[in-house]
A and B are shown apart, each in its own frame.
Chain A
Amino acid sequence: MAEQPLLEATGVAKRYGAVSALKNASLTVLPGEVHALMGANGAGKSTLVKILTGAISSNAGRILVRGQERDIRSPAKARLAGLVPVYQEPSLIPDLDVLSNLRLTRTPVEPFREWIKELGVPDLDLRELARDVPLAIQRVLDLARALAVEPDVMLLDEMTAALPANLAERVLDVVKRQSQTGRSVIFISHRFVEIAALCDRATVLRDGETVGVVDIAPGIEERIVELMLGAKVEKKRVALKEANEELAGHAGSTRIAVRNLKVGTKLHDVSFDLKDGEVAGVVALEGQGQDELFAALAGSIRPDGGTIEVDGKPAQFHHPVDAVEQGIAYVPGDRTEALAMQQSVRENIALPFSAAFRNWGPIRMAREGATVQNAIERLQIDTRAQREVQRLSGGNQQKVTIARWIAADARTLLCFDPTRGIDVGTKQEIYKLLRQLAEQGKSVLFYTSELEEVQLVCDRAIVIFGGKVVDILPVQIADEAALTRAAYGLSRDSKAEVGVLAEPHSAPEAHP
């Protein structure tokens, strides 16, 4: 290749005791390109990013920046070399306000302000404590922080995973423009729509090894998946059951009835039913009240108005335990809310078993072991580093949050973006799992920021805009375009332009 690579890494390896996180990874990034780094959960993507940005040290390998060998032993050195990351986990210190966080990392404030405006978060108070900023916005702040130091190579690790369409759209836009000024971006995402819309080439990792580098072109998705998993995955619509819809789909009795629910300033007036045996999708842009809706149904905040009925009886949740006792389990969008990071996978999955006072006694280890193992297998959790959940890869941590309630056999699951950061292969398994639950007569409320999922799993889609239910779409017509229109509060028959993410098969240059 004539052009000199901006960044070149070869033979990178990293071991943690018996676990090889990376065996032989290589990556070449050209100036001005957006380079996708792909691989299944636990393939080593985040590890590679951390090595390239000096957060951890590798056991072997060499890194060249603009053709020169660089010693990247600390984040500061990486920054000097022009490499700046946005890690998979939010990196603002929760107990400091945003401004202090910026000072701490010596981020110039004015450019930062410009960038957050650009990224679609105009009205942020920099004095706000980081812990009070919603997850999606935190991610945007992380990105703005990286952009503000004007790096040569930006490494974005599942930056968009927590973002709903409107924010993700802005991010892709900004990243694209970065690359047009000759800077490069390494982009990690499990969403093919984004890869197709944004990236020029992709490096695929499998089990810690680079197994291929491909140019992004229409139809390449299948090839990438095959490289990633070593096998083909079919995207099946697991949800469709049009034929007997009247019989099966709506035969279930009403499990949860929400009427005129009002929570805080975000959620104004929401009414819907969740039936036994259905998976109901919830779709909304960032900050339309969906967080509050789920928190209220899970009993972790109290509604200000309206009613929630469970199995026909009015319910008042004062503590999450009240919901749990009714068989309603909440899988929060932010896994750090759900996981005890220093405990083992087993202890995390088994946590609800010991919650009630009557279960404080001796644990029946064999039985618990079997239940947990079963859940681990159903979700295909990579347990090589299971002694502490914090050592698992991001996607595997996410699986643990779901596995917990599968093991606890909850009757109703409130899943808030449960497939965030989970690879294509496992996603299919999770869809199947949710459908199985529905067939067993259980019910699932499923918020997703990845609109494609609605048609893959849900029976219908409840669209929330401005704190109100604006539409309930039957699954047959709930494609990405229709959902996006509805999520923006537009009526079903409007034909407004809604952006690249709604058009999964559009060519990259079709971007407005």
Chain B
Amino acid sequence: MSISTALPEQAPLGRRIKRFMSDYPLVPLLILLVLLVLVLQMLSPGIVNQRWIANTIKFAIPLALLAGCQTMTMLTGGIDLSVGTAATMAAFIVATQGVMYDAPTAMMIALIPAVIIGFANGIGVGVFRVHPLIMTLGTSLIGIGCLQVYQRTVIASGAKVPEFLIWLGTGVTGGFPNALLLFVPVAALLLFIQKRTGFGRLLYAIGDNERATRLAGVKYWQVILALYMLSSILAGIMGLLYIGLIKAPSLSLAEPLVLPSVAAAVIGGTSIFGGRGSYTGTIVGALILTVLTTLLTILQMPEGARRMLFGAIVLLVTAAYLRIIEDR
């Protein structure tokens, strides 16, 4: 430290910007999103139009829903890797049961496995203290196994995705994807839970200092059980939406979205160590990843190179972002 010429009142501009960014962590993310869109527009002029925007949103929504599961669980220092399975099972079952039952019944049946998976996760993590990574990985594998068995029993009857789900997944009304009808209320609910409910407060507090919550009279297992059930049900709902978008049921429908959903939450500023983060950031993170995918597709690179680039960019963005918002 030497004699500094700057008076303490006039912190250097760089510092002030950092300050601002760390107070409003959403700002750098939005800037990044806009930058990506601009690059895209430069690479292939005219691509960014209303249809493109509607399409991007349509594909970002399922990712954002799964990333919602990760955000909620990550707040407590956990993670939910079984969301892919919960979603795939819901999707597969709704398509196959859709042949026999009407849409609402099929959808209810389709959500049962999600509830069971969530319950198992909650008991494992909350009561038996299995690490969430292992627990949810385990239930995920078990679930996929069950789905394979189930597939053989329904192989003859074929599949039929309920019309309503197709309308919801692919339809666009007045330039807005219908999926927003599902997403906006869900996102609002998640944000409300995080910011304005006792349950949300507990998620943050548990991720921050579980011992402190215990002394304050919080029963860990209750919160964790509720949390993982919520996460699984949300994943199941996402599966219903996603099958409406993709229309072809398969045994690995939502699986490719699991790791990106973790990435979206992390890019959005949620800490994997718990205690920090918000769903707003996650939504922007999901949009960033979706735009990035489009961008890499347009570059017409071989698949391998594309994935490498995708991974590298995610790493870079996360590291840079943590740098920016962290203050010392």
**Size of the chain B interface, CB-CB below 8 angstroms:** 36
Chain A residues lying within 8 Å of B217, measured Cβ to Cβ, are 320-321, 324-325, 352, 355-356
Chain A residues lying within 8 Å of B219, measured Cβ to Cβ, are 319, 321, 357
B1, B11, B201, B275 — most chain A CB neighbours (10 Å): B1
A354 and B202 form a contact (CB under 8 A)? yes
From A23, A59, A352, A356, B6 is in contact (CB under 8 Å) with A59
From A16, A60, A338, A355, B218 is in contact (CB under 8 Å) with A355
A337 and B202 form a contact (CB under 8 A)? no
Mask for A337-374, Cβ within 8 A of B = 1, else 0? 11111110001001111111101111101000000000
Task: Assess whether A15 is interfacial by the CB under 8 Å rule.
Answer: yes
Task: Assess whether A17 is interfacial by the CB under 8 Å rule.
Answer: yes
Chain B residues lying within 8 Å of A338, measured Cβ to Cβ, are 212, 215-216
Mask for A229-252, Cβ within 8 A of B = 1, else 0? 000000000000000000000000
A339 and B209 form a contact (CB under 8 A)? yes
Mask for B146-165, Cβ within 8 A of A = 1, else 0? 00000000000000000000
Q: Report the nearest B residue to A70, measured CB to CB.
A: B1
Chain A residues lying within 8 Å of B307, measured Cβ to Cβ, are none
Chain B residues lying within 8 Å of A14, measured Cβ to Cβ, are 8
A15 and B328 form a contact (CB under 8 A)? no
Please, how many angstroms separate the alpha-carbon atoms of A20 and B7 in the complex?
12
A339 and B212 form a contact (CB under 8 A)? yes
Chain B residues lying within 8 Å of A300, measured Cβ to Cβ, are 214-215
Q: Report the nearest B residue to A12, measured CB to CB.
A: B1
Task: Assess whether B222 is interfacial by the CB under 8 Å rule.
Answer: yes
B328 and A354 form a contact (CB under 8 A)? no
From A20, A23, A59, A298, B4 is in contact (CB under 8 Å) with A59
Task: Assess whether A332 is interfacial by the CB under 8 Å rule.
Answer: yes
B2, B213, B215 — most chain A CB neighbours (10 Å): B215
* Closest Cβ–Cβ distance, residue A489 to chain B (whole Å): 31
Task: Assess whether A67 is interfacial by the CB under 8 Å rule.
Answer: no
From A298, A321, A340, B208 is in contact (CB under 8 Å) with A340
Task: Assess whether B276 is interfacial by the CB under 8 Å rule.
Answer: yes
Q: Report the nearest B residue to A352, measured CB to CB.
A: B216
A360 and B204 form a contact (CB under 8 A)? no
Q: Report the nearest B residue to A9, measured CB to CB.
A: B1
B197 and A60 form a contact (CB under 8 A)? no
Given contacts A319-B219, A342-B276, contact A337 B197 (CB under 8 A): no
* Closest Cβ–Cβ distance, residue B12 to chain A (whole Å): 9
B201 and A347 form a contact (CB under 8 A)? yes
A353 and B4 form a contact (CB under 8 A)? no
Task: Assess whether A73 is interfacial by the CB under 8 Å rule.
Answer: yes
Chain B residues lying within 8 Å of A340, measured Cβ to Cβ, are 204-205, 208-209, 212-213, 275
Chain B residues lying within 8 Å of A336, measured Cβ to Cβ, are 209
Please, how many angstroms separate the alpha-carbon atoms of A13 and B1 in the complex?
11
Chain A residues lying within 8 Å of B3, measured Cβ to Cβ, are 60-62
Please, how many angstroms separate the alpha-carbon atoms of A343 and B207 in the complex?
10
Given contacts A59-B11, A325-B217, A337-B215, contact A69 B2 (CB under 8 A): yes
Given pairs A62-B3, A340-B212, 19 additional interface contacts (CB within 8 A): A15-B11, A16-B327, A20-B8, A58-B1, A60-B4, A61-B4, A71-B2, A337-B215, A338-B212, A339-B209, A340-B275, A341-B208, A342-B204, A347-B201, A351-B216, A354-B197, A354-B199, A354-B201, A361-B197
The 5 closest A-B pairs by CB, nearest first: A354-B198, A324-B217, A340-B208, A360-B199, A355-B217
16 contacts between A and B (CB under 8 A): A20-B8, A51-B1, A60-B6, A60-B8, A61-B1, A61-B4, A338-B216, A340-B205, A340-B275, A343-B208, A352-B217, A354-B197, A354-B201, A355-B202, A361-B199, A362-B197
